[in-house]
Amino acid sequence: MARNKKINVKGSEITVIVQNETDFISLTDMTIGFKEGSGLIGKWVTNKNTLEYLGTWEKINNPYFNYPEFGVIKQDSGVNRFIMSVGQWIERTKAIGMIVKAGRYGGTYAYKDIAFHFAMWLSPEFQIYLIKEFQRLKEDENNRLKLEWNFQRTLAKVNYHIHTDAIKDNLIPERLSKKQISFIYANEADVLNLALFGKTAKQWRKENPNEKGNIRDYATIEQLVVLSNMESINAMLIQQDVPQPERLTQLNQLAITQMKSLLKYNNRIKKLKQ
């Protein structure tokens, strides 16, 4: 599965795809602004220093790298008639740092570290601009994700007040101490935590003693959406005098159903963006 994005480097539009949650940058697009074009990729991958770099990268990042075959390639690379293509490199060594694609977005793609190495081989100036634009792309993505997460967190907080009002109006008897009242609120909050996360806030803190904040601060966007819905529904169930054990069962089933639906929906959206 792949999502396509574009960055502009010195007038060249370069495609960035995502496969298995990993960015791969088009080496083919990177050569558009150079006289020899995509033929430069073959020259680069045949270079002995390049092969040493690629072998080191694969050794560190790829548990299935065929290191004995790499030794043969490395030895052969010292001969003048030696020729290597990216496809041969991948096939012979089981390399994962580069991919060759056919079709509309066809070409040679590489993991960012390798793409930056190729850019340096093309031109130090080009490499600097490529890194700058790629970093800008990732910052934009992170900002969008943060905005989405903050929106859902805010929505959950709004519904939290609906939830606490229902607790106040229906579960808190008169003349309780502040400590007793806060216990009821915390107890009801843990009904939602158990239904969605499978653990109480106290259990989470015990398992994550070095983390700041609380269990909900580390929730995914999907979990926050479900939490927001659960707060509204639990408030309604409280007003209907549904006992807590029964509410927990219903909320847990709701959490399971909605999480499955959201994750299934998100996967369909990802496929549409490919």
Write the CA distances from 135 to 119, 129, 233, 268, integer angstroms.
Answer: 15, 10, 42, 28
pLDDT at 115: 92
Angle between the N-to-C axes of helices 112-122 and 124-170, in degrees from 0 to 180, rounded to the nearest 10: 150
Place of tokens 């008639």: 81
Neighbours of 207 (CB within 10 A): 10
Environment class of residue 75 by beta-carbon count within 10 Å: exposed (0-12), middle (13-18) or buried (19+)?
exposed
Backbone angles phi, psi at 92, to 5 degrees: -75, -35
pLDDT at 143: 64
Mean pLDDT of each 10-residue bin along the chain, 274 residues long? 74 86 90 88 92 91 92 85 91 94 83 91 88 84 62 56 56 48 68 86 89 83 78 81 86 82 58 43
Nearest partner of 7 among 32, 22, 25, judged by Cα: 25
pLDDT at 178: 57
pLDDT at 229: 76
Q: Where are the domains of the chain?
A: 4-122, 143-273
pLDDT at 33: 86
pLDDT at 184: 62
pLDDT digits 0-9 by tens, 14-32: 999 888 778 899 999 999 9
Partners of 18 in the beta sheet? 23
pLDDT at 62: 92
pTM over 0.85, yes/no:
no
pLDDT digits 0-9 by tens, 116-154: 999 999 988 888 889 888 888 887 777 666 655 555 555
